[in-house]
Amino acid sequence: MPERKLYIWLDSDPLVHPPDRAIEDVPGRADLDLLAEAIAAGRLGKLLPPKLAISPHRRPETPAGYRSVDLSKLLRDYQIPYRIRVELTGRPPLGSPDETADNQPSKRRRRGRAADAPDAERA
């Protein structure tokens, strides 16, 4: 009988990318138990994203083929000690001449039907 695996995606879409890690899937044990055990043992690393995806399939074909897991809830439920850090992306370095990031929305940006309507301010 081939070894069963539980595939884990750390920071990518399971429908598009291959899994980042795989752990042994023990029949009769809950997938979340196995995942919590692997996290507590450090087999997935120390820096983890807020959401993980797990699946018994290496290449799930539909969203029903994998399960999304909220990491904070899992760590709380299994009483695994952790601390939260926040990484800001898309921001310019401190002290750079450009104080606004490229990904910041502007107040003049219009979406939906309002984007198609004539602008009274510009008329």
Q: For 68-104, what is each residue's pLDDT tens digit?
A: 999 999 999 999 999 988 888 777 777 766 655 555 5
Q: Indicate the pTM of the whole model.
A: 0.70
Sequence-ordered list of residues with C-beta below 8 angstroms from that of 38, at least 6 positions apart, any chain: 8, 21, 23, 44
d(CA 16, CA 96): 36
Q: Work out the angle at residue 35's Cα, subtended by the Cα atoms of residues 23 and 63, and round it to the nearest 5 degrees.
A: 90
Tokens describing residue 37: 């055990």
Cα(59)–Cα(18) distance, integer angstroms: 7
pLDDT at 43: 95
Mean of the per-residue pLDDT values for the chain? 85
Q: What per-residue confidence (pLDDT) applies to 85? A: 83
Which residues, 6 or more positions from 2, have their beta carbon under 8 angstroms from its beta carbon? none
pLDDT tens profile 27-54 = 999 999 999 999 999 999 999 999 999 9
Alpha carbon separation from 82 to 19, 48, 87 (Å, rounded): 24, 11, 16
pLDDT at 60 over 80: yes
When pLDDT is averaged across residues 103-112 and rounded to a whole number, the result is 59
